[in-house]
Amino acid sequence: MKILVINSGSSSIKFQLLDMVDESVLASGLVERIGETEGLVKCTFRPGGEDELVVKKTTTVPDHKSGMQIAVELLSDPRQGVIVNRSDIYAVGHRVVHGGEDFHKPTLISGDVLAAIEKNIPLAPLHNPANLDGIRVAQELFAGVPQVAIFDTAFHQTIPPHAYHYAIPYELYEQQRVRRYGFHGTSHKFVASECAGLIGKPLAELNLISIHLGNGCSMTAIKNGESVDTTLGLTPLEGLVMGTRSGDVDPAIHAFLARNCNMDIDAINEMLNKESGLKGLCGLNDMRDIHDAIASGNKRAKLALDVQTYRNKKYVGAFMAVLGRVDAIIFTAGIGENDAVVREMTLRGLEPFGIAMDLEVNNQRIKKPTLLSTPESRVQIWGIPTNEELAIAREAKAVLGK
């Protein structure tokens, strides 16, 4: 049972082909720089296997349609045998960033679903159009194959009104749907489910704090298996300090910058999304570079690390208050899985709250789910690799009742 997962971004398409009989990855790839003079295509067949094969090429990729065509051609190479004919594909699972209030769960794509994703474009003007492109092209290339949309926002649709409303005029919610939505839902749900399996209890009985730290960062409070609060808001800018995104700022910063720095609203938005976060503080947005800079005495790099981990800790405290009892805290994504220092600094000093990390065990890159707390710790601490492609493929399979 082969499922193709498509994550179509504004200038790139990530794809993965999985055999859902044993959840093995048959091929995984990326088409980048769509629309630029030279596009990059990379596909790895049977990643991690003895017969792994990496195919790379540069070619013009004028648009998403040609990007998808190139990906499907690569996957259909008879020498690789991963797609023998198109009807081999049981389903295509699409990551869709913003489902607004329309989608609470993964959904089989129909004309109405496409219209609703389109309606939500104002909420995600960069992402939803690219996601729609990916869906339309896949519908053409795989006519008759079920297409399933998996929304970044869906897992957070259980957040109650007192947590999703901003305290601004209510009409803005009624007319424009201005509220907190949250993102990274597929990842939070995936690691929460994995964690439940590891603890050996049903997810519906667990209270968890899931911390996704990658380029984008977010934290979710999960009560009895459901998201009850999360740090990202109307857009993926609120909350934690990210690679280039500021996270929380005083909202009056916009007015201040407009008045005093002669910046217009687009420039401020661009600055908060692309020139802020770790990069804004020290010029570097990759945590590996920040550690190197700290080692050579760069004080601003140390400040960036301090600001990010302090913000993480502040939200852990907030979500402990939200949840009351916390069974486990989970770290995941690029920084969460690989950076022992960030994990340690995020939870340092929380021992009085029953959170005690085993610093020796923590001192590693997490390649498989690993318990990072001491046996005495009341709250378990887990490092769990996220796998959004597998999560999407599982969701697509579940929607189709398999």
Helix (H, G, I), strand (E, B) or coil at 55: strand
Selected from 182, 236, 277, 334, the binder of ligand ADP by CB under 6 A is: 334
Using CB atoms, what's the residue nearest to ligand ADP? 334
d(CA 92, CA 90): 7
Q: Which of 235, 309, 338, 380 binds ligand ADP (CB under 6 A)?
A: 338
Non-local (6+) Cβ contacts of 174 within 8 A are none
- Which H/E stretch holds residue 361? helix 359-362
> In the complex with ligand ADP, which residue's Cβ is closer, 243 or 280?
243
The set of catalytic residues is 152
Q: Cβ closer to ligand ADP: 333 or 399? A: 333
Q: Please check whether residue 26 is in contact with residue 20, taking contact to mean a CB–CB distance below 8 angstroms.
A: no
Q: Measured between alpha carbons, how far apart are the two ends of the chain, in Å?
A: 10
Q: What residues between 203 and 222 interact with ligand ADP by CB under 6 A?
A: 214-216
Fill in the DSSP letter of residue 286.
-
State the minimum distance, in angstroms, from the CB of residue 279 to ligand ADP: 10
The amino acid that residue 158 corresponds to is T
In the bound state with ligand ADP, the residue whose beta carbon lies nearer, of 25 and 83, is: 25
In angstroms, the CA 230 to CA 318 distance is 11
Instruction: Decide if residue 239 touches ligand ADP (CB under 6 A).
Output: no
The site for ligand ADP, by CB under 6 A, has a size of 13
| Sheet of strand 380-383: strand arrangement | 226-230, 217-223, 208-213, 328-332, 380-383, 370-371
Among 194, 229, 339, 389, the residue binding ligand ADP under the rule CB under 6 A is 339
One character per residue 279-318, x = contact with ligand ADP (rule: CB under 6 A): -------xxx------------------------------
Nearer to ligand ADP, 74 or 217 (CB): 217
Q: Give the shortest CB-215-to-ligand ADP separation in angstroms.
A: 4
Select 80 or 308, whichever has its Cβ closest to ligand ADP. Answer: 308
- Point out which residues pair with 210 in neighbouring strands: 220, 330
Phi-psi region of 333 (alpha: psi -120 to 50; beta: other; left: phi over 0): left
- Minimal distance, residue 181 CB to ligand ADP, in Å: 17
In the shown chain, the binding pattern of residues 92 to 131 toward ligand ADP, with x for contact by CB under 6 A and - for none, equals ----------------------------------------
User: CA torsion 42→45→46→48, rounded to 10°?
Assistant: -40
Closer by beta carbon to ligand ADP, 100 or else 334: 334
- Round to whole Å and give the CA distance between 399 and 391: 12
Positions in the binding site for ligand ADP (CB under 6 A): 214-216, 243, 286-288, 333-335, 338-339, 365
